[in-house]
Structure 1
Amino acid sequence: MSEEKKMTHEEAGQKGGEATSSNHGEKFYQEIGEKGGEATSSNHNKEFYKEIGEKGGKSQSSNNK
């Protein structure tokens, strides 16, 4: 009986990411980043950006509190 090694979720994600990267160029990533930014902007207000801006200025350990 042959044993087939199953791929972990992490390995599958990495393989998919590498395939996407090899099939698409820099422009693809710019476009999806812009699209995501627009979606975030339409779903959140100024307070959201204020909060994440403040989090960004703090150390990782203080963000977890």
Structure 2
Amino acid sequence: MDPERQREIASEGGRAAQESGSAHQLTQEEASEGGRAAHESGNAHEFTSEEAREAGRKGGEASHSGGNQGGSGSQRGGSSEQHAEAGRQSHKND
């Protein structure tokens, strides 16, 4: 099967699981253990400055969109520009 089509199918399944509430939610301990293992094995994703900036921009937009899209409900605030700047600062030593 074409890898792109396989990703599309997996993405559809993931969205359906999230919407129905049957998707597995990692606990903080599970996520921490997985991240530690990924770093130790060399498989962890290292964000580029551009990826961090984009994530900050999206986070800022989501937190100020007005309608909560079913997220955790935490509202830390800050503009998308502030989030992007925080992303840039977190990668100063890259």
The TM-score by the shorter chain falls in which range? 0.3 to 0.5
The higher relative CO (CA closer than 8 Å, separation ≥ 6) is in 2
TM-score (norm 2): 0.29
Larger radius of gyration: 1
TM-score (norm 1): 0.39
- Structure number having the greater helix percentage: 1
